[in-house]
Amino acid sequence: MSEESNNIDLRIVFRDENEPLMNLFLTNKSKSIPKLIIIEKATGSVLNHWGPRPIGAANLIKEHKEKVGAIDESVKANLQLWYLHDKGFSTQNEIMNLMLDLEK
């Protein structure tokens, strides 16, 4: 997306080298990655964030944890199958919708 738009300045930071930043965007009290943080360039304010998983994948993990109580090998395999079948479309759609919402 950043290659296709002159309005996106993509910067990649590493979780373990940016602990104060990552602590602002915890997922269930953990430093889950990847995280997309949208920052207004002029002000430096956070406009929104996304991650670490699309809603469908997050729900798969959440429902499994509610039933079993933990993440185990079976849910990891199911998650990989979910990503395989999804082909990245959910991630792309969620990020595009997030960006469209910011334009409103």
Q: Is the dihedral of CA 80, 90, 12, 23 positive or negative?
A: negative
- Are 33 and 51 in contact, with CB atoms under 8 Å apart? yes
How many whole angstroms separate alpha carbon 21 and alpha carbon 92? Answer: 24
Half-sphere exposure of 50 (CA within 13 A, CB side): 17
Say what the pLDDT of residue 40 is: 86
Q: Which of 33, 52, 71 is the last residue of a domain?
A: 52
Say what the pLDDT of residue 67 is: 95
Q: What is the pLDDT of residues 9-49, one digit of tens each?
A: 888 999 999 999 999 999 989 999 999 998 888 888 898 99
Share of the chain above pLDDT 90, in %: 69
Same domain, 59 and 98: yes
Is the per-residue pLDDT at 78 higher than 80? yes
- Are 49 and 25 in contact, with CB atoms under 8 Å apart? yes
Same domain, 45 and 86: no
Q: Tell me how many domains the chain contains.
A: 2
Same domain, 71 and 83: yes
Say what the pLDDT of residue 7 is: 76
Same domain, 48 and 58: no
Range of the domain at 72: 54-104
Instruction: Say what the pTM is.
Output: 0.80
Give me the mean pLDDT over the 77-82 stretch. Answer: 97
